Structure 1
Amino acid sequence: MIQTSTSLTLERLWQFSLQYYSVREVKEACLSLQNNYHGNVNLLLLLKWLDEQQLSIEQQDWHRVLSCISSTEGLLHSYRELRRKLKVHLPDTLYRESLQFELQLEKQQQSDLVDCMNQLRLQPGDSQLMTQRYCKELAADHLAQIFAKPASFSSTHTKHKK
């Protein structure tokens, strides 16, 4: 139900996320949001995609979005904690495999988010960005300024894809 010239697919969100997260400042802010404020990075990346499309989620649909990631959130959190504890005990190759598995879990969570988004009626974005709202909700307002910057690669990335 997304009314935009760019429809949301898992591959589109995944590629956007990989590129956006590859910016050092963004990665550090995402990890801070996750580790210090219990934020969900996949949700933040989706919200950033929406901001870039100048779209927003209606307030009454927010609970639906949160519930669509609840099943994978507990699993991801538990796995991430286990991986961190085992890091010093695992050979590098096994640790890298554990990171790859965690990425698969992340992609599954993004798939759940995409399915959820495609069932919602999105609104044109207003003056407050979705990433700003999320940071404010988590009391991480200072991180919002990092996510408010345009994802500069997105327009050039789109041009190269054509």
Structure 2
Amino acid sequence: MSQEHVRISLTLERLWQFSLQYYSVREVKEACLHLQNHFNGNVNLLLLLKWLDEQQVAFFEQDWQTVSECISRSETLLHSYRELRRKLKKTLPDTLYREALQFELQLEKQQQSDLVDCINSLTLINNEDAPLTQRYCRQLGAENLAQQFAKPAPKR
């Protein structure tokens, strides 16, 4: 069966706004942090995959590696910075800690920009298989979290 190629309009701002709204749901935030802290999952990648699931589109199976590679550089930086911020939490004044969180948010947004560029360079198809979020959870061994991400994103 041949897959029909799909065009979507993915911009950084669209993904960022979707992410802020979706992540604001307490259960989603908790599941994302659990995925990150216990399965080494990438929350920005998960949020992108959820956005694609909402559009009912996917990329080809062989493109998972490309998507992973496009965030590997920023993931290393983000992970190192996050660890440093956590270590300094008890010693930093509140105002400085909030600035550190804001900077981490900028790193997150840069990573989403890398993901948007990557996805926009791939051929996308109608998703006739399991949702991308479910496939990602399965790859990480976090199948129990997949049901949380299967729920529709809240509408604005």
TM-score by length of 2: 0.95
Q: Percent identity?
A: 72
Helix, strand or coil at the partner of 2:18: helix
Helix, strand or coil at the partner of 1:118: helix
Report the Cα offset of residue 57 of structure 1: 1.4
Q: Give the distance between the partners of 1:122 and 1:65, measured in 2 at CA.
A: 13
Equivalenced residues, count: 152
Report the Cα offset of residue 126 of structure 1: 1.8
Q: Give the distance between the partners of 1:66 and 1:46, measured in 2 at CA.
A: 12
Q: Give the distance between the partners of 1:85 and 1:126, measured in 2 at CA.
A: 44
In structure 1, list runs of 5 or more residues that go unmatched. Answer: 158-162
Q: What is the CA deviation profile of residues 57-109 of structure 1, one whole-angstrom value per residue up to 9, with x for unaligned ones?
A: 11111111000001100000000000000000000000000000000000000
Q: Give the distance between the partners of 1:139 and 1:146, measured in 2 at CA.
A: 15
Report the Cα offset of residue 26 of structure 1: 0.1
Code of the residue aligned with 2:139 in structure 1: it is E
Q: Give the distance between the partners of 1:3 and 1:126, measured in 2 at CA.
A: 13
Check conservation: 2:12, 2:113, Cα contact below 8 A: yes
Q: Give the distance between the partners of 2:93 and 2:130, measured in 1 at CA.
A: 46
Alignment of 1:8-157 (within 5 A): 8-153=10-155, 157=156
Report the Cα offset of residue 117 of structure 1: 0.5
Report the Cα offset of residue 142 of structure 1: 0.6
Q: What is the CA deviation profile of residues 1-40 of structure 1, one whole-angstrom value per residue up to 9, with x for unaligned ones?
A: x834x50000000000000000000000000000000000
Check conservation: 2:21, 2:154, Cα contact below 8 A: no
Code of the residue aligned with 1:7 in structure 2: it is S
Helix, strand or coil at the partner of 2:6: coil
In structure 2, list runs of 5 or more residues that go unmatched. Answer: none
Q: Give the distance between the partners of 2:131 and 2:69, measured in 1 at CA.
A: 21
TM-score by length of 1: 0.91
Report the Cα offset of residue 127 of structure 1: 3.4
**Which 4+ residue blocks in structure 1 deviate beyond 6 angstroms?**
none
Report the Cα offset of residue 152 of structure 1: 2.4
Q: Give the distance between the partners of 2:28 and 2:79, measured in 1 at CA.
A: 20
